[in-house]
Structure 1
Amino acid sequence: MTPLPEHLHQATRARTQETEKRARSALAELVKAGKPVSFTAVARQAGVSTDFLYRSPDLRTRIERHRAKVGSASAASEQPSGDSSTSAAVRALSARLARQQQTHHAEVERLRKALEVAQGENLALRRRLARYEAD
């Protein structure tokens, strides 16, 4: 494999530096606005991939640090309401699932009975056919 020419290395470095600059700027904007800091939020704001942020040690450290600062301060205030809404959603989905299971069990039982009847009719018809063929 042939090594890349120097001008391509320079272009790659310049593009990486520009991307890092946009990411740092986006992080600063999120912090200044008091918005939640996450890899996804920074990536959207900067127009970069989350993979780029995770692979950049400096950016990764900064985002994790800001996320931890804001996360620990706001976690206490947001967690109770978040848990109750999550619990309510889980309870609602569990109840819906239980109703669907009951409906499905009833339908399976109805289909089993219909299958038994059909198999009985099939057996009776085979026996009648066997009697006619024997003659």
Structure 2
Amino acid sequence: MTPLPDHLRQATRARTQEAENRARAALAELAKAGEPISFTAVARLAGVSTDFLYRSPELRSQIERHRVKGGSASAAPANPPADSSTSAAVRALSARLTLQQQTHREEVAALRKALEVAQGENLDLRRRLARYEAD
């Protein structure tokens, strides 16, 4: 495997550092708000993956320390983050589906209106044709 050029290596380091800073800020924000701290909650708030947090020894130890500080709360959030991430996905898909349904309803309403106009024009043309043929 060929080594990365310096500019790519620097960009990678900068991106990683930025993600770590976001994770630290998210951890501080959760702690300040008194929210349950879990890898999923920090990852969601920071916009990073849970894998990223687990692979970073410093961040991992900070998150685990905060979870231990929570005492009895540390056992409770163990399951809800998975559920909340699942329900977050369900909520996102549900919102998308609702938006699509609304769009389809509007399209159907517009098409029905256009069909009514076309049927009215068709009826008018038939009446004119019937008068023309009667003469």
Q: TM-score, normalised by structure 1?
A: 0.53
**Equivalent in the alignment of 1:126:** none
**Larger Rg, first or second structure (1 or 2):** 1
Alignment of 1:1-80 (within 5 A): 1-70=1-70, 72-74=71-73
Q: What do residues 70-125 of structure 1 show as CA deviations (whole Å, max 9, x unaligned)? A: 1x15469x7xxxxxxxxxxxxxxxxxxxxxxxxxxxxxxxxxxxxxxxxxxxxxxx
1:83 paired residue number: none
Gaps of 5+ in 1: 79-135
The two structures have a TM-score, normalised by structure 2, of 0.53
* Whole-angstrom distance in 2 between the partners of 1:63 and 1:75: 11
Tell me the distance in 2 between the aligned counterparts of 1:50 and 1:2. 29
Contact kept, 8 Å, 2:68 with 2:74, in 1: the verdict is no
Q: Which amino acid aligns with 1:46?
A: A
Contact 2:36 2:73 in 1 (8 A): no
Q: Which amino acid aligns with 1:65?
A: R
Q: Measure the CA separation in 1 of the matches of 2:74 and 2:11.
A: 42
**CA offsets 1:53-80 (integer angstroms, 9 cap, x no match):** 000000000000000101x15469x7xx
Q: Distance in 1 between matches of 2:73 and 2:66?
A: 12
Consecutive unaligned residues in structure 2, runs of 5 or more: 77-135
Please identify runs of 4+ aligned residues in structure 1 that moved more than 2 A: 73-76
Give me the identity figure in percent.
75
Q: Which has the higher contact order (CA 8 A, sep 6+)?
A: 2
Q: Is the 8 A contact 2:26 2:42 kept in 1?
A: yes
How far, CA to CA, are the matches of 2:55 and 2:14 in structure 1? 17
